[in-house]
Structure 1
Amino acid sequence: MLSWVQKRGTSEHRTGLETPLQGPKQRCWFVWDPMGIIFAIATWALVLSGAWVLVRDLLIPSNNVFYAIANGVVFHLLASLALVSHLRTMLTDPGSVPLGNPPGPDTVSYCPFCLCAIPERVYHCTVCRRCIRKNDHHCPWVNNCVGEDNQKYFLLFTLYVGLMSTHVLLLLAIPVLRSHARGEWNASSTVSLPGPIFFLFLVALMGFIFALVMLCSQMCSIYKDKTTTEMLHQNKHSQGRQSMWANIKAICGPRVSLAWLSPFHSPDRYKVSERHVMA
């Protein structure tokens, strides 16, 4: 079957045809994976419960109106941006190749599951059950693959989770450090956290570690223009763009603006010839 695809692609190349990757857009993209749905719900539950504990057990008891309002606004702004980014990542088609996609000159393989010809840097996801362009990995926390068309939203999700978690950790750590600086601690002092505050600390710490690991992984992927899948399989045949700046523009949009930080803004798509650079 693969040999048939390659021969067919050669004949189409002579007539100037290209692999038609732009199939009809689906009205709604959602992966029906029970484990992924549970993880996605857990993400929202952790953020919302953390927000409730923060306001009820940390900000309101401070008896400082300005402190409570300022930190409450900052936290809920970051949390809202994180949750919107999570929704956009989960409900955006990551770059699926249309089922039954016909072969073309850039066809390099054939997927027996999707029954479609696929170009370079396309990988099949067994959870989504589709071939995804520049499939970095399947993330259960967003119940979706991170691919060419939703990587920006995943980056923003990890960014805002990291900022939100850092903000909470600072709110918890600064009073402790101030107390230590005033000499209120000695060798016999013990630290006892109330249950809700300890829960908030664990949630913030988990969010910080998750964001740190995923952001480092994504920035390494952008720097090398290699997906996590390609790096794990040591794929040396996929050559990317010439600079990291071009790689970032390919994900966030061709023009530098504040829209890069907005999960509500959909970046302009590059042309096929720019997105799929042949080795």
Structure 2
Amino acid sequence: MYRSGTVMAWNVFKFCTALRGLGSIMILLVLGVVGVTYYAVVINNYGPGLEAGGTEALLAFFVLILFHCLLAMLLWSYFSVVFTDPGIVPPNWRPKVDEERGDTDPLTATEFPAELENRGIRFCRKCNQLKPPRCHHCSVCGRCVLKMDHHCVWVVNCVGALNYKYFLLFLFYTFLETSLVTLSLLPHFIVFFTDDDIPGTPGTLATTFLAFVLNLAFSLSVLGFLIMHISLVAGNTTTIEAYEKKTTPKWRYDLGRKRNFEQVFGTDKRYWFIPAYSEEDLRRIPALQGLEYPSKPDLDAQEL
């Protein structure tokens, strides 16, 4: 029995180590897909269309402008998720209830008061520190992450309190961009199944075919993730919490769709569609910092 548990722990450790090693590979893969798409849309098809004149040139101009705008927002959002720390527990963080009790010494796993556990304050034995509300330990990153949603291999980072909005925008702009590419390359893709002579070299034709298939696949898959995360934001929950809520009759952090949305995107509409926050929102909305979350008054005393 002991050996079985040891083998399982070792396998999990190797799996987490493998995920860490995917870092630069996944970033290069994303950039590779972007490169293939850019070559197919701009270089092969719609770039030359600008010289055709008439309606074809107008269509090419519109597609290229929209393509570059969405691509810029996609890459901005993507690298914001990659390089933004999702949120870590501040050193020696203590819950407010501890300050009210007058305790000053850091709590350890052996002297953690049982009464605090009943009030929803948890302790991470792996990090040997207290865990703020909605905080979870990531086995891949090897640390506790504030309001952790999941560890995403595509962004080589955890998705948490400080970069969740950026992740949602990345999904949003990826869906728009891949949908645009799919629709714009569809006429060129249909040509493959006609009896007409297909213009272009084998290399350019293969690039167009590959770009269409990749963007169609990403568009459909990202749409599913986007719908799922929209529902999570509407209920003010995360992927991890959605699973935990199966045993929770009421969710204390669900304050209504408007306030739930503001806890992720802020109240300043000018910043809703860019991976950034206004200084006023960062100052006024504690949830954006990942440590404090308003909850329903009648459920304040319940355990998370």
TM-score between both structures, scaled by the size of structure 2: 0.70
User: Structure 1 residues 266 and 150 mapped into 2: Cα distance closer, same or farther (>3 Å)?
Assistant: farther
* Offset of residue 173 of structure 1: 2.5
Provide the residue aligned with 1:261 in structure 2: 273
User: Structure 1 residues 119 and 107 mapped into 2: Cα distance closer, same or farther (>3 Å)?
Assistant: farther
* Offset of residue 263 of structure 1: 2.1
8 Å CA contact 2:85, 2:163 repeated in 1:
yes
Provide the residue aligned with 2:28 in structure 1: 41
2:43 partner letter:
R
* Offset of residue 83 of structure 1: 0.6
Which contiguous aligned blocks of 4+ residues in structure 1 show a shift greater than 6 angstroms?
A: 190-193
Give the 5 Å matches for 1:13-28. Answer: none
User: Structure 1 residues 276 and 90 mapped into 2: Cα distance closer, same or farther (>3 Å)?
Assistant: farther
Tell me, which stretches of 5 or more residues in structure 1 are unaligned? 1-31
1:82 partner letter:
L
* Offset of residue 265 of structure 1: 4.2
Percent of aligned pairs with the same residue? 28
* Offset of residue 276 of structure 1: 4.9
Provide the residue aligned with 1:56 in structure 2: 43
| CA displacement 1:20-45 (0-9 Å, x = unmatched) | xxxxxxxxxxxx92213321221122
* Offset of residue 90 of structure 1: 1.3
Provide the residue aligned with 2:158 in structure 1: 145
Provide the residue aligned with 1:121 in structure 2: 134
Provide the residue aligned with 2:105 in structure 1: none
User: Structure 1 residues 127 and 100 mapped into 2: Cα distance closer, same or farther (>3 Å)?
Assistant: farther
Q: Select which of 293, 298, 301 maps to 1:275.
A: 293
Tell me, which stretches of 5 or more residues in structure 2 are unaligned? 1-18, 98-118
| CA displacement 1:76-106 (0-9 Å, x = unmatched) | 1101100110111111121221244345427
Q: Select which of 250, 259, 270 maps to 2:263.
A: 250
For the aligned residue pairs, the C-alpha RMSD in angstroms reads: 2.9
Partners of 2:22 and 2:294 in 1: how far apart?
A: 32
Q: Is 1:229 matched with 2:221?
A: no
Q: Is 1:101 matched with 2:93?
A: yes
Provide the residue aligned with 1:201 in structure 2: 212
More helix by share: 2
Partners of 1:276 and 1:41 in 2: how far apart?
A: 40
Aligned residues: 239
8 Å CA contact 1:155, 1:215 repeated in 2:
yes
Provide the residue aligned with 1:91 in structure 2: 83
Partners of 2:178 and 2:278 in 1: how far apart?
A: 26
TM-score between both structures, scaled by the size of structure 1: 0.75
Q: Select which of 73, 78, 82 maps to 2:74.
A: 82
Provide the residue aligned with 2:111 in structure 1: none
* Offset of residue 50 of structure 1: 1.0
Partners of 1:191 and 1:122 in 2: how far apart?
A: 59
Q: Is 1:133 matched with 2:146?
A: yes
Q: Is 1:112 matched with 2:125?
A: yes
